[in-house]
Chains A and B, each alone.
Chain A
Amino acid sequence: MEKLISEFSIGLFFWQSMIFIGLLLLLRKYAWGPILNAVNERETSIKDALASAEAARTEMENLHSDNQRILKEARAEKEALLKEAQSTRAQLISAAKEEAQTEAQKILSQAQEAIQNEKRAAINELREQVGSIAMDIAEKVLKKELESKDKQVQLINQLLQDSDLK
């Protein structure tokens, strides 16, 4: 211990303190500060980059699920559209059919009516012709029957007899 104390050099201690403190202050200003700052900055930038990558990933995932959803919706819409188109087609067809049927019915009934009319007209004409033919025949028969005067008188008498005047 005594040797240690006698060995102790105040000059060396003085210079050591001066040099070390000077070095400490200089390095703090010109080396450690900038170094640690740079390292910290780098670390935060790495952290930020990782975080933004993560964010991008989740965004991508979101986008993907969005896409999926949109696709699904589109598919559903397509199906709905198809269904609707089908039903419209069916409707259209049935409507057309119905219309055609009614039209046909109408035409048919018109035709029947026309036929009826024609028939009636024909019957009437036939009746007239039959009438006139009968009249002609009757005329000819009467002309032949009433050629003589006694025959006429006989008939008048008979008619008078028949028509019992009271």
Chain B
Amino acid sequence: MPSVLNKFLLLFVLLTTIFSAHNTLYAKETDSSKDLKTEIKDYISHHLEDAYDFSLFSYTNDDGKHVYIGIPLPVILWDGGLQVFSSSKLHHGESVAHVGDNYYKLDHGKIYKTDAQGTITYDETNHATNIAPLDISITKGVASMILIALLMFWIFRSLAKSYVENKGVPAGIGRFFEPIVLYIRDDIARPNIGDKKHGKYMSFLLTVFFFIWFLNLVGLTPLGVNVTGNIAVTFGLALLTFVITNFTGTKDYWLHIFDPLGSSMKWYAKIPLYIILIPIEVLGIFIKPFSLLIRLYANMQAGHIVLMSLIGLMFIFKSWLGSPLSFGLAFAISLIELLVALLQAYIFTMLSALYFGFAAEEHEHH
């Protein structure tokens, strides 16, 4: 463990340095033209959003043009037929993409269908009124998820293989991950779901734990992916918890929702109570996974905002005292975020297991 931690620490020092370096570039160039604070604010909110290409960094060249260094990703639109084109055509919203007979333009992180000139009309609340076609592009977030999925498959497949090759003893990186797998089984699944029924939930719990943890960790790198801080992703994860909970719910689980008092009271006495109780219980079915999705989203989002704001402070202070101070703070927050990355994955898994436990419970009727 200590060596792993050391590696992470080293990585962090490295990452923060790189991060600040390209921020400097960005900040210096725009210093004169725009207010630095607004610039940083825009930069942060831009970072928090998903992107259509995997940009590593960007700068403004001598001609005053933005140059983006990164990998373009495929844009997939459903607009009366499947439209697939490279995100490099969008030029980060600076020009109109001409695909077939259609024109598309990127505006505030969304793709809109436009005319050849790329006019976008706005209503009074500053929302674009152009048609936004159904967008299932491989964005930066999707690409990160694919990479993490591949990484996870490789790690755990090799762990599974090492058991066969090594006669039941893990080898290599599996030695680090096996205790975590066992921890999830013995300290999350078993106590919450029960010895008999935990087996069928294990795959989900393990996958969701490592998926969130790895994505959280990737989110801390200067690649700037903010996948678990995206509401669509946490919604998808919580939705699965919701679906699994309610589809594996036993008779007792549903009885607990629609007849929480059981036979402890006469039926006519229960009616006035149930007018209040049942809606609360039914609401609870939705609130539980909803809390999961909001918790993960808000924690990761907040972490990114705090971290990036502190890094941004370095360029606002520009003094011998302030900048190192905010660097130190950013470094400390990075370490906390490292913990939060694990903690949020743990909490999501733990609470999912708890909800599965409610769904799987079978107790004597009182």
Contacts and interface: CB of A to CB of B under 8 A. Distances in A.
B253 interface: no
Contacts, number: 126
B336 interface: no
B157 A11 contact: no
Contact of B50 (A9, A26, A30, A31): A9
Interface string A12-44: 111111011111101110111111101101100
Interface residues of A, number: 34
Contacts of A15: 136, 138-139, 141-142, 145
Nearest to B168: A42
B135 A9 contact: yes
Contacts of B182: 39
B194 to A, nearest CB: 16
Nearest to A35: B160
B337 to A, nearest CB: 22
Contacts of A45: 168
Contacts of A13: 232-233, 235-236
A31 B160 contact: yes
A81 to B, nearest CB: 57
Interface in B156-190: 156-157, 159-161, 163-164, 168-169, 178, 181-182, 185
B146 interface: yes
B341 interface: no
Given A19-B146, A27-B153, A27-B207, A10 B159 contact: no
Interface in A26-81: 26-28, 30-36, 38-39, 41-42, 45
A10 B211 contact: no
B240 interface: yes
Contacts of A12: 50, 139, 141-142, 230, 232-233
A74 B86 CA distance: 96
B134 interface: yes
Given A16-B233, A16-B236, A39-B181, A23 B211 contact: yes
Interface in B185-218: 185, 199, 202-204, 206-208, 211
A35 B181 contact: yes
B241 to A, nearest CB: 11
Contacts of B202: 32, 36
Interface residues of B, number: 47
B14 to A, nearest CB: 28
**Highest count of chain A CB atoms <10 Å: which of B134, B142, B160, B231:** B160
A7 interface: yes
Interface string B112-127: 0000000000000001
B232 A24 contact: no
B49 interface: yes
Contact of B163 (A21, A26, A38): A38
B146 A20 contact: no
A15 to B, nearest CB: 4
A7 B231 contact: yes
Contacts of B153: 23, 26-27, 30-31
B351 interface: no
Nearest to B205: A32
Contacts of B161: 34
B237 to A, nearest CB: 7
B149 interface: yes
B76 to A, nearest CB: 8
A20 B50 contact: no
Top 7 closest pairs, chain A to chain B, by CB = A31-B156, A38-B163, A34-B160, A28-B203, A16-B236, A13-B232, A12-B232
Interface of B: 49-50, 76, 127, 134-139, 141-142, 145-146, 149, 152-153, 156-157, 159-161, 163-164, 168-169, 178, 181-182, 185, 199, 202-204, 206-208, 211, 230-233, 235-237, 239-240
Given A9-B230, A11-B136, A45-B168, 13 more contacts: A4-B231, A12-B233, A14-B136, A20-B207, A24-B207, A27-B156, A31-B159, A32-B202, A33-B160, A35-B159, A38-B164, A41-B168, A42-B168
